[in-house]
Amino acid sequence: MNVNVDEGYLLLLTPAFRGNYGESSPFVYAVADLFTAALVEMMREKNLLVSDDTVAWVGSEEAEGVLRSLVAAVDGGGILHGECVGELPLGAFPKLVDEKLGAGSFALWLEAIQAERYAEAEEAGRLPS
């Protein structure tokens, strides 16, 4: 898999993944930006990032932040990555979220992020206390 920050991660998301969640949905863009951000961070650590100006961000910082919180809450980075690039079946990440946060949690979270209700999505993505 070849990816660079100038192209970002969006083109690496499978057509099935993009189609399942909406080709230009806030969730799909947040997934692309989450993995682009990871690449940028790695490049910064190794002094390989030439310029922030050429990084291909596609979504909003708010959506990426809410997704980052959900991924951290369920320890799901590997599962999400596997699903979005076609190494795991569609639905692998929602299944993990529902297992960790309760049945229907991913659907509530997804509905909120797709509607750009980020505070609501942030709340839906928290571990039960």
Residue spans of the domains in the chain: they are 10-124
Question: pLDDT tens digits, residue range 93-115?
Answer: 999 999 999 999 999 999 999 99
Question: What is residue 20's predicted lDDT score, i.e. its pLDDT?
Answer: 96
Question: What is residue 36's predicted lDDT score, i.e. its pLDDT?
Answer: 87
Query: Rounded distance, CA 38 to CA 40, Å?
Result: 5
Say how many CA atoms lie within 13 Å of 45 toward its Cβ: 6
Q: Which residues of the chain have pLDDT under 50?
A: none
Contact 5, 33 (CB under 8 A): no
